[in-house]
Amino acid sequence: MVKASAKPPDSKSHANDLHTHKLSPDEIIGNSFVFFFAGHETTGNSIHFSILMLAMHQASQRAMQADITRIVGDKPIEEISYKDDMPRLYNSMVGAVLNEQLRLLPAVLGIPKTTASKETVTINGRQHVFPKGIHILINTIGTNRNPKYWKTGPSKVTPGSSDINDFVPERWLQGEAPKERNLHMDGLENASFDTGALLIPPKGAFMTFSDGLRSCPGRRFAQAEVTAVLTAIFQKYSVELDVTEWASDEEVEAMGWDERHMLYAKAIERARVALRRCEQFITLQLKSGEAIPFRFVERGRERFADLE
């Protein structure tokens, strides 16, 4: 008779080993970097680009401010309720602005993936087989701008083209929430923000946060944070592109509508050129040395609000 010599592991001692394990300095630094990067850099970029887009699109800014006023009025920001006010704000032009900015300018241009096993994918009716261990880069910005999946109309920027590459937050608005919805599975179905007033893109069409079970776990936090910041700013202030390179404040005040329109169009074109030259250094950002100056003014004291 042969006796088994292997002693079964002591589950109690194994559990104790897990609880007494300490992170190394390299592990602590690595995790800290991920936390700061994922929770600060990406959200900061989104706020920055949202403000720039609103400065370039005054009509959308006015519409967003009207929704903020309708939903929270003059309520102090510290009294705004996450449970009651935030879902309504997110499902208004505030959330539409945020999502449209994220569609056009996601934090990262490509999402790296690796197949864990052999996978078969059907694309345009053709089957493609990917072996285990294949590295795949999801083209975030290309997917987000695929006209196959989005509501489009004539471009106001490029005559003769569709507006798929334009900032049109209104494409996300659906009106009141429907009573029943067929939600796709992204792990967020029960989140309080989902009321159905905003467009839900087809599965795989909006890849800013990736998709599926391994989508960004900080998605809801980022949405709540940006919604709160935009509400706090635009409840009381408006943003305009700075034009002092071409005209002083006194000269602007003396201008008529046509002159102001031409001046602001020049500022908008400068901003568009700078945005087209964005580059990715960890996250998407303006090219090094590039700047798009803007200024905040109190609501009611705008100089270019009526130009669209």
pLDDT digits (tens, 9 = 90+) for 214-273: 788 778 888 889 999 999 999 999 999 999 999 999 999 999 999 999 999 999 999 999
Q: Which residues contact 150 (CB under 8 A, 6 or more apart)?
A: 103, 164, 171, 201, 205
Confidence of residue 36 (pLDDT cuts 50, 70, 90): low
Q: Is the pLDDT of residue 3 over 50?
A: no
Whether 85 maps to a domain, the answer reads yes
Q: How many domains does the chain divide into? A: 1
Which range marks the domain in which residue 224 is found?
32-298
pLDDT at 258: 94
Whether 19 maps to a domain, the answer reads no
What backbone phi and psi angles, to 5 degrees, belong to 294? -145, 170
pLDDT at 212: 80
| Contact indicator for 57, 303 with CB cutoff of 8 Å | no
Q: Which residue has the higher pLDDT, 185 or 172?
A: 172
Report, as an integer, the average pLDDT of 138-166. 93
Whether 225 maps to a domain, the answer reads yes
Report, as an integer, the average pLDDT of 285-296. 93
Question: What CATH number is attached to the domain comprising 60?
Answer: 1.10.630.10
What are the beta bridge partners of residue 297? 238
Whether 55 maps to a domain, the answer reads yes
pLDDT digits (tens, 9 = 90+) for 88-123: 999 999 999 999 999 999 988 888 888 889 989 888
pLDDT digits (tens, 9 = 90+) for 256-268: 999 999 999 999 9
pLDDT digits (tens, 9 = 90+) for 183-197: 333 444 444 566 668
Q: Is the pLDDT of residue 306 over 60?
A: yes
pLDDT at 21: 73
Confidence of residue 152 (pLDDT cuts 50, 70, 90): very high
What backbone phi and psi angles, to 5 degrees, belong to 142? -70, -40
DSSP per-residue letters across the chain: -PPP-PPPP-HHHHHHHHHH----HHHHHHHHHHHHIIIIIHHHHHHHHHHHHHHH-HHHHHHHHHHHHHHHTT--GGG--TTTHHHHHHTTHHHHHHHHHHHHS-S-SEEEEE-SS-EEEEETTEEEEE-TT-EEEEEHHHHHT-TTSS---B-SSSTTSBSTTS--GGGGB--SPPS------SS-TT-TT--S-B--PPTTS--BTB-GGGS-TTHHHHHHHHHHHHHHHHTTEEEEE--TTT--HHHHHH--HHHHHHHHHHHHHHHHHHHHT-EEESEEEPPTT----EEEEETT--SSTT--
Mean pLDDT, the chain, rounded, equals 85
pLDDT at 291: 93
Q: Which residues contact 118 (CB under 8 A, 6 or more apart)?
A: 129, 130, 131, 132
pLDDT at 104: 96
pLDDT at 107: 87
Whether 108 maps to a domain, the answer reads yes
pTM: 0.82
Amino acid symbol at 111:
I
| Contact indicator for 187, 198 with CB cutoff of 8 Å | no
Q: Is the pLDDT of residue 71 over 70?
A: yes
